[in-house]
Structure 1
Amino acid sequence: MNTITTIETRYFAFERDFVDSLRCIPMIVRYKLDTCRVKLQLSDWAKFNFDEKDLLAEMPCHAPDEVEMYADYVNELVWKYTSTVPSLLQNLDPAWVRMHVPAEVHERTHEWNCPVISATQWTQLNELERFALVKLSRSGHEGRNFPRALAEFGLATAC
């Protein structure tokens, strides 16, 4: 990504069942990990203490020097607990920065019988919201949060 948007720390309502304990990686941290291209395993995240997890959510990761410091800190934490370093994302596809609704988001709306998201609705979402919908659309993510996210972002009342 050439241009990095400043994203404020935000936890989504659909994450509320784990935000108090930070047992799962919240979207704000996932966004920052993708920004610095670090692939953090949930098993490594689980080893971090609450303050370390909270700091990863709060640390800035926008300007090039911040992105580098963020990646260094994640690497230090993983090394501290596992004596390994996380791998780097090789083929990052930032579908959330596109101005059209990605195919995987359309597919997921159909799977859940949710209303189709228009291009206008997509562009009115902020970057973190678009990121969340893309991530929730991909395999390996808890599907029940996708319709919750749509409702939270004002895109569907019930799916």
Structure 2
Amino acid sequence: MIRKFKFEDEMHESLQCVPMAVRRKLDRVGLKIGLQQWKSLDRGERLAICHFPFDSAEECDALGVFIREAMERRLGVEPKCLTDAQRASAEPPASPPARAVVHARTAGFDLNATTWSRLDGDERFALLKMGDAETPSHNLGAALKEFNVPAIAQVDQPRAK
């Protein structure tokens, strides 16, 4: 079963982009698939990758074999392998990254340690990928809202007389 976020609804219909849940699977498996490579896979292969389980080491190994063989058949190439540090990003840190906090604040949300601790691993991963980059994703605000991250209280400004 794939975790579907509302901010990605259109993506799940067409599978023309790599859904966040698949990005997490790829990180855990240790493979990088570019957008053009993803689009080169047929819809059945993309759906299989979406729904493939990845909780155990054996499931990750099987998913990796499936992806490598599908890409070899379709493109004649193997996907790039991620470094151990890149693979580690599949398991987000216990505290929100400072840059993600700043980007969330800019979007009008208070992403603090308490809120972060209430998020599940998939939600943390999504916020890490969307908010901890130099330039945040255009979907960051929608994700923060979907994940019930509190909005920053607006302070009433005194009116000019």
Q: How does 1:51-90 map to 2 (within 5 A)?
A: 51-90=44-83
Is structure 2 residue 138 aligned with structure 1 residue 148?
A: no
Q: What is the CA-CA distance between 1:138 and the residue it aligns to? A: 4.2
1:115 maps to 2:109: yes
Structure 2: gaps of 5 or more residues: 153-161
1:99 aligned onto 2:94? yes
Q: CA RMSD in A?
A: 2.1
Look up the match of 2:126: 132
Q: Which has the larger radius of gyration?
A: 2
What's 1:4 paired with?
none
SS in 2 for 1:143: coil
Percent pairwise identity: 27
| Partner deviation per Cα, 1:44-63 (whole Å, 9 max, x = no partner) | 00011111111111111111
Residues 1:32 and 2:30 are matched in the alignment: no
Q: Which residue of 2 aligns with 1:3?
A: none
C-alpha distance 29-95 of structure 1, shift in aligned 2 (>3 A): closer
The residue type paired with residue 60 of structure 1 is P
- Where do 5+ consecutive residues of structure 1 fail to align? 1-7
Q: Give, in whole Å, the separation in 1 of the partners of 2:135 and 2:18.
A: 11
* Range moving further from structure 2, 47-56 or 90-99: 90-99
**SS of residue in 2 equivalent to 1:97:** coil
Distance 2:12 2:134 in 1: 19
Alpha-carbon shift at residue 41 of structure 1 (Å) = 0.7
- For residues 49 and 79 of structure 1, the distance between their equivalents in structure 2, rounded to whole angstroms, comes to 13
Which 4+ residue blocks in structure 1 deviate beyond 3 angstroms?
138-142
Contact 1:100 1:119 survives alignment (8 Å): yes
Normalised TM-score (structure 2): 0.84
Cα deviation code 1:62-85 (max 9, x no counterpart):
111111111111111111111110
Amino acid at match of 1:149: A
What is the total number of aligned residue pairs between the two structures? 150
Aligned partner of residue 40 in structure 2, secondary structure: coil
